[in-house]
Amino acid sequence: MICDQFIDRTTGRADTYYRGPDVVHISAADPYCPELRALAGRIAGQQSLRWRPAGTVVVVQGPRFSTRAESRWYSRMGWDIVGMTQYPEVILARELEMCYLNLCLVTDYDAGLEGAPEVGAVQAHDVMRVLAENIVRVRDLLAATIPMIPAEPSCNCQRSLEAAGYKKKKGRDWGLGLQGRGSGITISAALLRTGEEAVTALSRLTIEARSGVSYSPQK
Query: What CATH fold (topology level) applies to the domain 5-215?
Result: Rossmann fold (3.40.50)
110: annotated active-site residue: yes
Q: How far apart are CA 164 and CA 24, in angstroms?
A: 6
Torsion 93-128-137-187 (CA) sign: positive
User: Does 218 have pLDDT greater than 60?
Assistant: no
d(CA 150, CA 164): 26
Helix, strand, coil share of the chain (percent; to 5): 30, 15, 55
Domain extents in the chain: 5-215
pLDDT at 219 over 90: no
Active-site residue (options: 8, 15, 80, 108): 108
Contact 32, 102 (CB under 8 A): yes
Is residue 174 scored above 90 in pLDDT?
A: no
More confident residue, 194 or 180: 194
Strands 177-179 and 186-188: antiparallel
Residue 188's pLDDT band, with cuts at 50, 70 and 90, is very low
State pTM to two decimals: 0.79
Q: Where are the alpha helices (DSSP H) in the chain?
A: 34-46, 68-76, 89-95, 124-145, 195-202
Predicted confidence at residue 21, as pLDDT, reads 82
Distances (CA, A) of 55 to 2, 36, 91: 7, 15, 17
Catalytic residue among 4, 8, 15, 110: 110
pLDDT (tens digit per residue) in 8-53: 999 999 999 988 887 888 999 999 999 999 999 999 999 999 999 9
Is 108 considered catalytic here? yes
Q: What is the pLDDT of residues 71-111, one digit of tens each?
A: 999 999 999 999 999 999 999 999 999 999 999 999 999 99
pLDDT tens-place string over residues 122-155: 999 999 999 999 999 999 999 999 999 988 889 9
Amino acid sitting at position 43? I
Give pLDDT, residue 184: 32
Residue 199 has what pLDDT? 58
Task: State the Cα–Cα distance between residues 119 and 27, nearest whole angstrom.
Answer: 39
